[in-house]
Amino acid sequence: MLPLLGNLPILLQGNLIEISEKLKATYGSIFSLSLGGKWVVFINGNEYLREVFVKNAEFFSDRPKVFFIDKVLESKAVTAQNGLEWKTHRTFMVTALRNLGFGKKSMESKVLEETQHFLRVLSDSNGDPINVSDPIYVAVSNIICSIALGERFDYNDVEFKKLINVINELLSNQNIPAINLLPVLQYLPGDIFGAKRIIQQTHLLKKVFKRYIAEHINTIDPGNSRDFIDEYIIEQKRKPGLTDDDFPIAVFELFGAGTDTISNTITWSVLYLLKNPDVQDRMRDELLCTIPTDRPPTMADKLNLPFCEAVIAETQRLANILPFALPHAATEDVMIDKFKILKGSFVIPNLSSVAHDEELFPDHLKFDPLRFIDKQGKFYGQERIVPFSLGKRSCPGESLARMELFLFITSMVKKFHILPEIDGIFPSSKGQLGIAYVPNPFKARFVERNKY
């Protein structure tokens, strides 16, 4: 066997989620593969994930220099940096997003406003079949636009459409995990893995964001920050670590992290609700009983909607959109139980091993929100899944993500009956794995409740 290839043939046996399940069943909760001359260690199950990424966070919180980190994110901003630079950017991001209303009423108003535009698009479809992911992707991107750039766009705006198409195409390239593990793939003639195109797209996006940054520099009022770009310009004066070079990547990162993740989760929810009309009806009954008027749900309603919360938790569990989170790196040789993880290894948090743990979630491929409802009918046990990962690198966008998932999914179900394109014929529950696990494109009909 060529040393460079190592265990690569194992990866050719199919989908990495299924392969990792088989390897876990055979070799246990920590196993490693030799790929591209590197050890790639998979950490499985709640207990070991906490042991490695929380208790031993100081040794397992770096990012390795893989293609996506090094060439797309150019080892800049939050996701791709380590040490002091990472800390500076992460602290800035968390503070800036808090200043812009994260977890507060002001952010909720932004999301609610976009939800209304989104519901109008669904109404305008008049119950005809539409590509489900299109309006969701546009609406979710628009929320990041208003956070990052200070403006939302008309859904037909040509510039806006171009921008989100490039981001979408770049992030949905299914070859990225393979190029990460085997960098040589990016140099193959004919660009068959699309690596050169990805890098071109990154440059294009940087150019667009540089233009917005220049416009903001010309119009900023330092006493009145409008958005993430203004926050960066203001904070740059106090923190030299926030460099000009990092700036466009920091904006791109916000789009990349905050668009695909949320829109894919909402799209999965449509697919599951479509296939489980009883769940959809029960959710709508709860919504109509709790909010009998025409107004859309708000975050204040959340505590009174346990079944809706359970549907969202079950969607996140089953959809499993970032099954392997993002890669981490070991900075020392560390013993975890009887396993020695070598310095320099890639360390993968296998979040999928929790979401699809047959002991925790019997019949784990079944969509069953009642897993999250206790005997008193209350929502419980959300901490059994870790869709936002854990430890120092856990997702800083979690509160916005939870708010968007709740407001979009509940307002959609309250207003519409979601039906398959053709009665009795349902889309596949299997998706495609790139960086994220995404559903295959499908159509659905959104029929307004009062017209059903």
Residues that bind ligand HEM (CB under 6 A): 78-79, 90, 253-254, 257-258, 261-262, 265, 321-322, 325-326, 349, 387-389, 393-397, 400-401
Closest distance of CB 308 from ligand HEM, Å: 16
3-state class (DSSP) for residue 339: strand
Closest distance of CB 378 from ligand HEM, Å: 23
Closest distance of CB 343 from ligand HEM, Å: 19
What is the helix (H) or strand (E) element at residue 433, kind and residue range?
strand 431-433
Of 242 and 400, CB closest to ligand HEM: 400
Asked if residue 53 lies in contact with residue 353, where contact means CB atoms within 8 angstroms, the answer is: no
SS (H, E, C) 64-97: CCCHHHHHHCCCCCCCCCCHHHHHHHHHHHHHHH
Structural tokens at position 386: 């870790």
Of 32 and 261, CB closest to ligand HEM: 261
The residue number whose beta carbon is nearest to ligand HEM equals 397
Of 208 and 435, CB closest to ligand HEM: 435
Of 100 and 213, CB closest to ligand HEM: 100
d(Cα 44, Cα 140) in Å, to the nearest integer?
31
> Is 395 annotated as contributing to ligand binding?
yes
Gyration radius of the chain's alpha carbons: 22
Closest distance of CB 410 from ligand HEM, Å: 15
Residues with Cβ within 8 Å of residue 298, at least 6 apart in sequence: 108, 112, 407
Structural tokens at position 189: 């003639």
3-state class (DSSP) for residue 18: helix
Counting Cα atoms < 13 Å in the Cβ hemisphere of 249 gives 21
Of 306 and 349, CB closest to ligand HEM: 349
Label the pairing between strands 443-448 and 416-420.
Answer: antiparallel
Closest distance of CB 145 from ligand HEM, Å: 12
Residues of each annotated binding site for heme: 395
Residues of each annotated binding site: 395
